[in-house]
Amino acid sequence: MRCLHDFPVTNFHTYANNPVERVFAGRIPLVSGTAYGYFTRGAMVQRVLHALKYKGNKEAGRMLGRMMGQCLLESRRFDGVEALAPVPLHAARERARGYNQSAVICEGIAEVMGLPVITNALTRLSTTGTQTHRNRIERWQHMEGKFRLAKRGLIEGRHMLLVDDVITTGATMEACARALLPAGNVKLSVAALAWADG
């Protein structure tokens, strides 16, 4: 608990044209974007995210989701959001892990914001492996076409908040957005637990 309350908050939710929004500028139409905390390799944030993704510590994800949801409520820049959509894992990876960490984060946000979580809006078509050793261009190319719109009727005409654990280059979020937007009259905002300026 102490670690979670020491999370190094970015305050990106408080202002427009923040680093997250600039990553997507000219690529996808965003209403608002944010990341809750700064990711630094080897630091506390990485340990918390590792515990969430690989050690089954779902409560850490829910707690951070609640904390992020409170920031989103207070900022008023996310007032129009109508539903949450976690970035999907490939089905095989989700079965192996037992859960999708982005969906767990959404659960915490939903508790605070009173919004539905739509976990089946998108399908991940293949596993992508780690992006760690790829440069910015390679990450974009590697993620292209990896997601498919699965439930058009659930998101058509809505303002969706797409949620992931970490934003680095924005490649994963952009690939998801490109799959979501054709649903029709969709407004899109994005949020992640951590911002890794990579």
Give the domain extent around 175: 2-195
Q: How confident is residue 103, by pLDDT bands cut at 50, 70 and 90?
A: very high
> The tokens 């690529």 sit on which residue?
27
Q: How far apart are CA 117 and CA 133, in angstroms?
A: 32
pTM (predicted TM-score): 0.88
Q: Is the pLDDT of residue 12 over 90?
A: yes
Residue 194: C-alpha distances to residues 17, 30, 126 (Å): 17, 18, 24
Range name among 36-50, 107-121, 165-179 with the lowest pLDDT average: 36-50
Domain count, the chain: 1
CATH number of domain containing 20:
3.40.50.2020
| Residue 189 near residue 161, CB atoms below 8 Å | yes
First to last CA, the chain: 28
Q: Is the pLDDT of residue 198 over 70?
A: no
Q: Is the pLDDT of residue 83 over 70?
A: yes
